[in-house]
Structure 1
Amino acid sequence: MPTPFKAAAVHAAPVFMNKTATTERVIQYIKEAKEASVELLVFPETFIPGYPYFINCYPIYTQSSVLAEYIEQSVEIFGPEINSIQEACRDYGVCIVLGISERMSGTHTSFNTQVFIENDGTLLGIHRKLQPTGAEKIIWANGGGYTLRTYPSKYGILGGLPCWGNAMNSARQALIQQGEQIHAGAWPALSAMVGLEELADVQIDAMMKNHALTGQCWVIYASSTVDQCCLDWMETKLGKQELIKSGGGVSGILHPFNIYLAGPHKGLEQKLVIGEIDLSQLGIIKVFIDSAGHYSRPEVLQNDINDVPIWPDEKKMTFPIKKAPTLNKNQEGDTAIDAMMKNHALTGQCWVIYASSTVDQCCLDWMETKLGKQELIKSGGGVSGILHPFNIYLAGPHKGLEQKLVIGEIDLSQLGIIKVFIDSAGHYSRPEVLQNNINDVPIWPDEKKMTFPIKKASTSNKNQEGDTAVIAHAD
């Protein structure tokens, strides 16, 4: 039976645009993890050499020189930086998932990549972000399905997605189907961006909780924070800007039932966010819902992944990618509903109206009369609301015994603005990699005769028509 172990999210800033110094910082955090008895460590998105916030702050044509510099500061999988980090993992006995800007060897092509390294230093594998978001496309190429995979480790089956890759439901399901037990969510400090101060952390919280709950896995998510070093670098290289502020970021560790085991930790304070993971609880969790098993309905829903290598180096890549270096001789219910509804609004780019019933005395009396006394169901409960695609509540959330209409206004004219950034049915879907097939063949006798709409509106009662007309005329 698995034994509990300590894991941590690294909530920190890199030495911005300095891959050598940031590599040393990574090693220092691995050492710190060892001292705190942490065995699994997750780093933020592109921690080496830092997330390129400048792409969102300045006109593209002014960025040529810094974009070239960013590629130079990106690291190769078989380069000295990763090799040093592998040695540190081996020396301190810590398993990590590290966010890097990866440079494909011998090219000027880069990827937003997560690197999985075992506690003996073995490079288990990588994941290249499938779809760079927004302005990220000017730096990073698209990853493919070949690296959309999980990696067995001594601490469980690891998987990960960076940033808004967690909004790609088919990609999440691909990891779930591969038995993912621990998910590494990697993020930049989105809440350091003007206009996203309050919204970004709410969105991250919703997506991470949703994956924990719907994937029945532990989620360790790590965000970087923006320090003065980053701001000074941008001002020196590109001039003043007002879109990125210091601070930001949110990091935490979630249980599959949406309970925070550590965090959420926010802001400028850099630290390890430490919690305990106990995989022996997995059986109890999977009894109720198993998205890779009895809850998957494979005869109806099929999530097909195109895992053919698309980049030259992938065609030579096997897993584990690189062996360990040799030793040198010298609140659960409502929170879960809120998270799932917010996640669907955000990842589906749609408005969500969700309605819950509440338990009244009539229900309790009926059960007692028919079946006898019970102590498991109490009166009240339920949560209802209306959500904007950007996770803003337009109405609610309303909870408890009070029965009412929870009313909000929906404006579909905003859809174009929303879909510019992310369109899960369009430019963000990557259909050549991810295909979600549905078996829509009727399986029940009545379905074989069913057409849609199923039934037309009933005709008006002749006696009512006059009254309706009189009322309309009076209005």
Structure 2
Amino acid sequence: MTHYVEKFTAAVVQAEPVWLDLQGSVDKTIALAEEAAGNGANIVAFPETWVPGYPWWIWLDSVAWQSQFVVPYAQNSLSLDSQEFTAITDAARRLGIAIALGHSERVGGSLYMGQALISSDGTVLKTRRKLKPTHVERSVFGDGDGSDVAVVDSEFGRWGALCCAEHLQPLTKYAMFAQREQLHIAAWPSFSIYENAAYLLGPEVNTAASQQYAVEGQTFVLAPTSIIGKAAYDTFVDTEQKRELLKLGGGYARIYGPDGRSLATPLDPAQEGILYANIDYNEILGAKNAYDPVGHYSRPDVFQLLFNPNPLDRVITTEQLTSANETEVVEPRG
């Protein structure tokens, strides 16, 4: 795409999900998109697994206790061929606002940590899955593949997305930067777990990861987060010990410019709301003048990245193998 909007208004959500409720999640998504569009935003970004909320139970107790959430979470996860997903793409078109949606994606009996990039005319530009779920997330979600590390053309230039601790994966980030990303969605859950016991899971480290992504890639970063409120406690917290492990609040939504500046005043960590910022891609040129690790500031004679961007097929038929062999050119040995 050679023609795109270089100046626009971006919105980032900080709110509590409608836990384990697919239809409620869709309704709240559309309501927040309506609010953002009404305030002049051209694009709105939602947190990681916003639909139907992040599975916090995996951090709180034994597998036996967690089993009560397995079926309801799968039932309320989002299928991309469903009427619920269509309702969101229809809303994007009706409101004239692009949507970056975080969701638990259900395919058959498997779940994936998904993100969907939807244009303001309702077109789905890209759906992706978190390449490697983090720590205990692997007990719920499957892996993505190389096709999920992608930047796509959009009405807002080169647009990409990653989830949560993917922003601590240096090779993943470099693969994204190399695709000339201009607008990046850094989707996070809330920063609410193990306060004062696991610093690396807290807001200081992870907001810094979003900010560092902006500086390293010279890209605008929209970083939505969820919050933990009373509804989360009603759903996940049944002991005083769990109350200590999972704290209220945890919202640290941010918007960063390509030089690392914060472009929106943060909300209180327990407050629901939307952050707004004006985006001007001309600022990227100034940032890249100093740093461009995939351009003038790179050393490909010393370092190169091997990247397989192809989707991973679970099944390869004999017909596919035959076709591949027939087109293969074999050089004579000698």
Q: Under TM normalisation by the shorter chain, which class is it?
A: 0.7 to 0.9
Q: Report the AA paired with residue 214 of structure 2.
A: A
- Please point out which of 4, 14, 18 is paired with 2:17: 14
Verify the 8 A CA contact 2:44 2:98 in the aligned structure 1: yes
Per-residue CA deviation, residues 267-326 of structure 1 (Å, 9 max, x unaligned), is 12111111111012222222222222212222322112122322559x9xxxxxxxxxxx
> How far apart are the structure 2 equivalents of 1:174 and 1:60?
36
Equivalent residues in 2 for 1:174-253 (5 A)?
A: 174-195=175-196, 200-235=202-237, 241-242=242-243, 243-253=245-255
TM score, norm. by length of structure 1: 0.63
- Please point out which of 280, 287, 301 is paired with 2:289: 287
Report what 2:331 is aligned to.
none
- Please point out which of 83, 98, 101 is paired with 1:95: 98
Alpha-carbon distance change, 33 to 197 in structure 1, aligned in 2, over 3 angstroms: farther
Report what 1:74 is aligned to.
77
> How far apart are the structure 2 equivalents of 1:208 and 1:9?
13
Q: CA offset at residue 221 of structure 1?
A: 0.3
- Please point out which of 256, 264, 269 is paired with 1:267: 269
Q: CA offset at residue 198 of structure 1?
A: 7.1
Q: Does 1:119 align with 2:120?
A: yes
> How far apart are the structure 2 equivalents of 1:280 and 1:312?
43
Q: Report the AA paired with residue 245 of structure 1.
A: K
- Please point out which of 39, 42, 45 is paired with 1:39: 42
> How far apart are the structure 1 equivalents of 2:277 and 2:291?
24
Helix, strand or coil at the partner of 2:34:
helix
Equivalent residues in 2 for 1:336-355 (5 A)?
A: none
Verify the 8 A CA contact 1:6 1:274 in the aligned structure 2: yes
Q: Report the AA paired with residue 310 of structure 1.
A: L
Q: CA offset at residue 134 of structure 1?
A: 1.3
The root-mean-square deviation of aligned C-alpha atoms, in Å, is 2.1
Q: Report the AA paired with residue 70 of structure 1.
A: Y
Verify the 8 A CA contact 2:6 2:157 in the aligned structure 1: no
Verify the 8 A CA contact 1:192 1:249 in the aligned structure 2: no
Equivalent residues in 2 for 1:262-411 (5 A)?
A: 262-312=264-314
Q: Report the AA paired with residue 180 of structure 2.
A: G
Q: Report the AA paired with residue 233 of structure 2.
A: L
Helix, strand or coil at the partner of 1:263:
coil
Q: CA offset at residue 196 of structure 1?
A: 5.8
> How far apart are the structure 1 equivalents of 2:266 and 2:303?
34
Q: Report the AA paired with residue 288 of structure 1.
A: A
Q: Report the AA paired with residue 99 of structure 1.
A: G
Report what 1:379 is aligned to.
none
Helix, strand or coil at the partner of 2:210:
helix
Verify the 8 A CA contact 1:148 1:174 in the aligned structure 2: yes
Verify the 8 A CA contact 1:251 1:266 in the aligned structure 2: no
> How far apart are the structure 1 equivalents of 2:156 and 2:198?
35
Q: Report the AA paired with residue 257 of structure 1.
A: D
Q: Report the AA paired with residue 275 of structure 1.
A: A
Verify the 8 A CA contact 2:5 2:155 in the aligned structure 1: no
Q: Report the AA paired with residue 25 of structure 2.
A: T
> How far apart are the structure 1 equivalents of 2:38 and 2:146?
37
Helix, strand or coil at the partner of 2:263:
strand
Aligned length: 311
Q: CA offset at residue 190 of structure 1?
A: 1.9
- Please point out which of 86, 89, 97 is paired with 2:89: 86
Q: CA offset at residue 254 of structure 1?
A: 0.5
Verify the 8 A CA contact 2:258 2:283 in the aligned structure 1: no
Verify the 8 A CA contact 1:192 1:226 in the aligned structure 2: no
Q: Report the AA paired with residue 306 of structure 1.
A: N
Per-residue CA deviation, residues 377-407 of structure 1 (Å, 9 max, x unaligned), is xxxxxxxxxxxxxxxxxxxxxxxxxxxxxxx
Helix, strand or coil at the partner of 1:276:
strand
Helix, strand or coil at the partner of 1:303:
coil
Alpha-carbon distance change, 39 to 312 in structure 1, aligned in 2, over 3 angstroms: farther
Verify the 8 A CA contact 1:41 1:95 in the aligned structure 2: yes
> How far apart are the structure 1 equivalents of 2:306 and 2:42?
33
Alpha-carbon distance change, 223 to 252 in structure 1, aligned in 2, over 3 angstroms: same
Q: Report the AA paired with residue 230 of structure 1.
A: A
Share of identical aligned residues, percent?
A: 30
Helix, strand or coil at the partner of 1:190:
coil
Gaps of 5+ in 1: 316-475
Helix, strand or coil at the partner of 1:115:
strand
Q: Report the AA paired with residue 50 of structure 1.
A: G
Per-residue CA deviation, residues 383-441 of structure 1 (Å, 9 max, x unaligned), is xxxxxxxxxxxxxxxxxxxxxxxxxxxxxxxxxxxxxxxxxxxxxxxxxxxxxxxxxxx
> How far apart are the structure 2 equivalents of 1:2 and 1:10?
22
Q: Report the AA paired with residue 135 of structure 2.
A: G
Q: Report the AA paired with residue 37 of structure 1.
A: G
Gaps of 5+ in 2: 318-334
Q: CA offset at residue 266 of structure 1?
A: 3.9
> How far apart are the structure 2 equivalents of 1:239 and 1:139?
25
- Greater relative CO (CA pairs within 8 A, separation 6+): 2
- Please point out which of 240, 255, 258 is paired with 1:256: 258
